Amino acid sequence: MTETKENWQRVDYTYALNAAKAAKEAGVKHCALLTGIMSAPDASNFYARSKGLLEEEVKKLGFEVTTIYRPSTLEAQRDAQWRFSECCLIIMSRWCLCCCISWYVMGCGVCWSGAER
């Protein structure tokens, strides 16, 4: 399948919304949705706009709980495409994670929530 806006919309919006609808009809009470950090129905970026529209439609389905995760970047195997900026973000996020874990483990005394260790 070639990467066109129509294919992207079908996979990232239509399939995801249909899965959420089927879950709701099956009695699922908690919907967890993975979108993106800049998702908004009025975003100028096609990807962010389609994810924002998806969020709005899933909220309308009326699950008891809807949890939306908006990561900044996702790691994926891409056979046909190499994205420089995505690679840089992944390297930086891994480095930051390692630094944060090391900082915590080395005895900072306080975890991210502010609670004493």
| Residue 99: per-residue pLDDT | 67
Q: Give yes or no for a contact between 34 and 73, defined as CB atoms under 8 angstroms apart.
A: no
Closest-CA residue to 89 (of 108, 76, 79, 100): 76
Q: Within a 10 A sphere around the Cβ of 117, how many other Cβ atoms?
A: 8
| Residue 8: per-residue pLDDT | 80
Reading the chain (117 residues) residue by residue, the pLDDT tens digits are: 567 888 888 888 999 999 999 999 999 999 999 888 889 999 998 888 999 999 999 999 999 999 998 887 665 566 666 667 767 777 777 777 666 666 666 655 444 444 444
Supply φ then ψ for residue 42, to 5 degrees.
Answer: -110, 15
- DSSP bridge partners of 65: 30
Domain boundaries, the chain: 1-71, 77-117
CA 40 to each of CA 45, 80, 81: distance values in angstroms, whole numbers, following the listed order? 9, 28, 26
